[in-house]
Structure 1
Amino acid sequence: MSALSILLLATCSTWMTQAQTEFKRVAGANLTLPCHHRLHLLNQTSLDIEWLLQNSEADPKVVITYGGGHIYYPDLNEEQKGRVSFASNFRNGDASLEISFLQPSDAGAYICKVKNAGNYEWTHITLKVLEKPSKPKCWKEGELSEGKEIILQCNSVSGTKPIIYTWQRIIDEEGKAGSFPPMTRINFSNPAQIIMKNLTRLASGSYQCTATNEAGKDSCVVQVSVQYARNFGLIAGAACGAIGVLFLIFLTVWLTIRRNQKKKYEEEESPNEIREDAEAPKARLVKPGSSSSGSRSSHSGSSSTRSTANSASRSQQTLSTEATPHITPTQHSQVDTDGREIEPKKINHTNLVKIEATSAMVPAQSRAFQTV
C-alpha cells in the first residue's frame, strides 16, 4: 500500500458507500449475494464484517459476522444455520454471502456492513425467493348428463403469488390442444373455473389445467364423460329387474324348503294316526261243542276286541247303544226262481268292527258262535 493511499484513508473520518440491488431466485437453488469493499487496505486486525437480514417489521437478524480474526454464526437465525457462509476471501475485499438451498423464509432485505478504523461501507440487497406452484388439483362439479351444466375447477395450495390458471382441452395422447365445446366460458371472477352449459356427448374428453407463476408451472387433468339422459333410466330399470329376479329365486328356494320340511313332518307323524278306512281283522266261526276251543276263542276274542276298541275309540260311544247283531255261522248260496245262484251279501268292514266291539260284551254261553 502506498503512503498516499494511507494518507487519503486517514483523512476521511467516515467513508460510506451504498449499493441497492434485487435478486429473484427459485426455492431450492443456491445464491451468492455480492458485497465488495475497499476497507481491507486499512489495518487488517481492525476489519469487521456483518451480514443482517430483515424479513419482517421486527429488528434485523444477524446472519454471519467476522471480527478479531474469527467467523461467528449467531444463534439469532436458526433457520439459516448451516446454509450460509462467506463466498470468497473476505479479508481481501470480497465479503459476498453464499446461501445454499434457498427457502421462502430466506426472502427479505439483506445488509452487508463492513467497518474498519472508523470507516464504513454498506451494501443493500433485496432477495425474493420464488416458490413454484404446487401440483394443482382438478375436479368437476355438476351432473354429467345431456343438457346439464358442470363446473371444472383447479387449485394450487402453495406457490408464490400471483398464480395464473389456464385451461385447455387435450384431444390426443401427445397433448395437442383442441377447441372447447359450445356454451363453455371462463369464470372471470375466478379464472381457475370454467363453466360448461347444455352438455352434449361432444363435450366428453380430457381437460388440463395449468398453474403458472414466476418460478415455474405445473398441471393436472380431469376427465369428462357425458351420458345420455335415458341411460340412467335403463340402468335403474336393469337394477330393479335384477333385484326382482333375485327375490323370486330366493322366494322359490324358500318355499321349496318349507314344503319339503312339511312333507317330512307329515311322514313322521302318519304312523301314529289310525286311518278310518283301514281293513278290519277277519272273523272266524267256532262251534259251541268245543269248550276248550271256545275258552281260547273267548280269550282271544276279548284281546282282539280290546285292541280294536283302542284303535276305534271315537266310534265306541255310538256302538254301546246298538243291539248285538245275530251272526250266521255259515252263509249258503241261494237260487232264484229262474235257477240262478245268488251271491251272499257281503258284510261291510265298518259294520264288522261294530259287531266285534258289541260281541265282546256278550257272554260266550249265550251265543252259538263267537267272532275272533
Structure 2
Amino acid sequence: RFLFLIWSLISTVEPYTEFKRVAEENVTLPCHHRLGLLEQGSLDIEWLLHVSETVQKAVITYSGGHVYDDLNEDQKGRVSFTSNFRAGDASLQIISLQSSDAGKYICKVKNAGQYEWARITLKVIEKPSKPKCWLEGELLEGKDLSLQCRSASGTAPISYRWQRLSEDEERAEHLPPTSRVNISNPGQVLLKNLTQMTTGLYQCIATNEAGQENCVVQVTVQQAQNIGMIAGAVCGVVVGLCLLLLVVRLTIRRKEKKRYEEEEAPNEIREDAEAPKAHLVKPSSSSSGSRSSRSGSSSTRSTANSASRSQRTLSTEATPHLTPPQYSQKEPEGREPEPKKVDYANLMKMGATLVMVPAQSRAFQTV
C-alpha cells in the first residue's frame, strides 16, 4: 500500500506525440491520469490550445463537478471528453476538423496538489480543392497550345500531373510526343505544333498527402482553311444583310416620296390656267347706240370686277403691256361701233384689278 501511494503521488509525463489528420475527419487526443483515486471533489482537468508562444485558448475544462465545453467559439459544439474522465481517461475528441484546429494541445490534470499533463501536436491537412483547367493559345494546326491547371486551396505541397484520356474516359493515355511539361510549374503543359491527332480529352490531377482532385478539358484542333471558309461565309452573310436592308430602305423612301407628291399635286396652281370667258353681246338696233355707249362702261366695269373676284386666289404678275378693254362709241345706223379705249387710271380708281388674259381670249369685245 505504501508503494502504491508513492506511485500515485509521483507526477508522470506522457511522451510527446504528434497527430496528423485530414480536414473534416475526427480525431481523439489521448490524456490518461491516475489522480482520480485521490479526492473526488478537488479533481480539475483542463485542455489548452497554444496558438502561438504567447497566445493560448481554453478548449474544455472540468472543475467543481461541471464540464465547460463552450469556451472557444471556433470549436464550440465540436469538442468533448471521450470517456470516464474522472476514472483516469481525459482524452479529447474533436469532430469535423478544420484548419484552425491545428496547433499544440496541453492536457493538465490536478488533484490534491498533484499534477499530470500531456503534450500533443495536431496537424490538419486539407485536400486540394477541385482544380481549374483552362487553355491558352490558338486551336489551329501548326500552332502551340498551353494547358493550365491550378487548385485554389489545399495543404502544400500540391503536385500536378497531366494525362490524356481515351474516348470512353475509362483509361489514361500518354501525352502527345511533342508535349513539354514546365518543370518550375508542373500545372502547365505545352503542346507544340498542333495536329488533328492532338484533339482529345486531357485531365489534370492535383495531389497532396491528404488526397487528390482532378479536372478535364477538351482540346479540338481546327484546320486553318476551315477557319477561312467560315470567316468568308460570315462576312458574305453580313454584307448580304446590309444590302437587303439598304434596298428595303430605298424602296420605302421612294414610296413615301411618291405619296407626298400625290398629296401635294392638288394644291399646286398651274400658271397656264385660262381666265373665265365673257359672253359676247351683239347690238340689236341702231337706236340702242346711245345706251350701248353708257352701258358699255358699266358692263366693262362689271366684267372687270367679276374677273377680279374670280382670280384673287391666283398668284400672277401684272403685265405692263396688257391692252385695256375696248368700248364702243355711238355710230350712225348701219355701221358697227368702233372700239373705244377706256381710261386705265379711272379703272384703277374704281377698284379694278389687272388680270392675265391668255392670248386666245383677248380678241373678244364687250358691247
Shorter-chain TM band: 0.7 to 0.9
Letter in 1 for 2:56: P
- Paired residues of 2:276 and 2:307 also in contact (CA < 8 A): no
C-alpha distance in 1 between matches for 2:149 and 2:208: 15
What residue number does 1:359 align with? 363
Secondary structure of 1:90's counterpart equals: coil
Letter in 1 for 2:23: A
**Residue 263 of structure 2 corresponds to residue 268 of structure 1:** yes
C-alpha distance in 1 between matches for 2:190 and 2:20: 36
C-alpha distance in 2 between matches for 1:309 and 1:45: 130
**Residue 3 of structure 2 corresponds to residue 8 of structure 1:** no
- Paired residues of 1:133 and 1:163 also in contact (CA < 8 A): yes
Map residues 127-276 of structure 1 onto 2, 5 A cutoff: 127-271=122-266, 272-274=268-270, 276=272
What residue number does 1:66 align with? 62
- Paired residues of 1:274 and 1:311 also in contact (CA < 8 A): no
Per-residue deviation at 1:189?
A: 0.6
Per-residue deviation at 1:87?
A: 0.7
Q: 1:19 to 1:283 in 2, by over 3 A?
A: same
Secondary structure of 2:86's counterpart equals: helix
**Residue 18 of structure 2 corresponds to residue 25 of structure 1:** no
What residue number does 1:111 align with? 106
TM-score (norm 1): 0.73
Secondary structure of 1:154's counterpart equals: strand
CA deviation profile, 1:154-213 (whole Å, cap 9, x unmatched): 111111111111111222233422232342111111111111222223322222212112
C-alpha distance in 2 between matches for 1:96 and 1:133: 30
C-alpha distance in 1 between matches for 2:192 and 2:101: 46
**Residue 118 of structure 2 corresponds to residue 120 of structure 1:** no
C-alpha distance in 1 between matches for 2:278 and 2:226: 83
What residue number does 1:90 align with? 85
- Paired residues of 1:51 and 1:111 also in contact (CA < 8 A): yes
- Paired residues of 1:6 and 1:42 also in contact (CA < 8 A): no
C-alpha distance in 1 between matches for 2:306 and 2:177: 104
Give me the CA root mean square deviation.
3.7
What residue number does 1:44 align with? 40
Letter in 2 for 1:221: V
Per-residue deviation at 1:5?
A: 4.0
TM-score (norm 2): 0.74
Q: 1:309 to 1:122 in 2, by over 3 A?
A: closer
Letter in 2 for 1:173: D
C-alpha distance in 1 between matches for 2:20 and 2:206: 19
Q: 1:310 to 1:29 in 2, by over 3 A?
A: closer
CA deviation profile, 1:56-80 (whole Å, cap 9, x unmatched): 23333222223443333473x3212
What residue number does 1:333 align with? none
Q: 1:59 to 1:243 in 2, by over 3 A?
A: closer
Secondary structure of 1:273's counterpart equals: coil
Q: 1:217 to 1:254 in 2, by over 3 A?
A: same
What residue number does 1:370 align with? none
Match of 2:52 among 45, 56, 66: 56
Higher alpha-carbon deviation: 87-96 or 167-176 = 167-176
Higher alpha-carbon deviation: 192-201 or 234-243 = 234-243
CA deviation profile, 1:232-274 (whole Å, cap 9, x unmatched): 4333333332222222222222222222222223323333333
- Paired residues of 1:147 and 1:198 also in contact (CA < 8 A): yes
C-alpha distance in 2 between matches for 1:320 and 1:235: 79
C-alpha distance in 1 between matches for 2:43 and 2:313: 135
Secondary structure of 1:91's counterpart equals: coil
Secondary structure of 2:36's counterpart equals: helix
Ranges in structure 2 where 5+ consecutive residues have no aligned partner: 327-356
Ranges in structure 1 where 5+ consecutive residues have no aligned partner: 325-351, 366-372
Map residues 297-336 of structure 1 onto 2, 5 A cutoff: 317=319, 320=322
Q: 1:67 to 1:259 in 2, by over 3 A?
A: closer
Letter in 2 for 1:180: L
